[in-house]
Structure 1
Amino acid sequence: MNFATQSYAPALPAHDARTLTEGGSLAQIALDGQIYTLRITKAGKLILTK
């Protein structure tokens, strides 16, 4: 027998890091009363710190 299976996972929200930083390299993100800093490095990598 041949059973075709399909998975219907909801799409994950996507956010552009350059938009979050408004063209800069830093953004603050709040979660449950805590503030985190998102940083875009010169190499184009992301760092998230508390």
Structure 2
Amino acid sequence: MIPRQSFERDTATSLPLHDAQVLTAGGSIALIRLGDQVYTLRITRAGKLILTK
């Protein structure tokens, strides 16, 4: 199954709009790389996002 595009554009601000469910492939955790650092994005049971190094 090929996931749909992971981001859209917010029409009001023209900024990228990312769907956390797509980033985590329907799960609750995704790894995000910025340069040589890797961060963990987690969706909590309460539906909040936590980003940690």
User: Hey, which of these two has a bigger chunk of strand by percent?
Assistant: 2
How many pairs are equivalent? 41
CA distance in 1, matches of 2:15, 2:52: 22
Give the unaligned 5+ runs of structure 1: 1-9
In 2, Cα distance between equivalents of 1:11 and 1:33 = 28
TM-score (norm 1): 0.78
Q: Which runs of 5+ in 2 are unaligned?
A: 1-12
> What is the CA RMSD across the aligned residues, in angstroms?
0.9
Structure showing greater Rg: 1
* Aligned mate of 1:48, from 33, 41, 51: 51
Q: Aligned partners of 2:43 and 2:22: how far apart in 1?
A: 12
Q: How far 1:18 sits from its partner (Å)?
A: 0.3
Give the 4+ runs in structure 1 shifted more than 6 A: none
Fraction of identical pairs, as percent: 68
1:23 maps to what in 2? Answer: 26
